[in-house]
Amino acid sequence: MLTAGSDDLPHHNPCAQCGRLIAAPVWFEKGPYRTSYLWRCVRCGYKFEAIAFFKQMNHETRATAA
């Protein structure tokens, strides 16, 4: 698990419940071909997850054979 704090995170995602812009996700997790983000609205407390899917794995997440 990683905590949010990187400059390459998405910013200003609207809350799925009330529409208020959320500055940054509170948590994210990278996996093969995807990154999951957890968003929490400070106004209404609603939490939701968004997942970004990628066509290729980046070089940091590529598995290597032993």
Q: For residue 10, what pLDDT is reported?
A: 83
| Domains of the chain in sequence order | 2-53 (2.20.25)
The two beta strands, 27-31 and 2-3, are antiparallel
Q: For residue 25, what pLDDT is reported?
A: 93
Q: For residue 42, what pLDDT is reported?
A: 94
pLDDT means over runs of 10, the chain (66 residues): 57 90 93 92 94 74 46
3-state DSSP of the chain: CEECCCCCCCCCEECCCCCCEECCCCEEEEECCEEEEEEECCCCCCEEEEEEECCCCCCCCCCCCC
Q: For residue 55, what pLDDT is reported?
A: 85
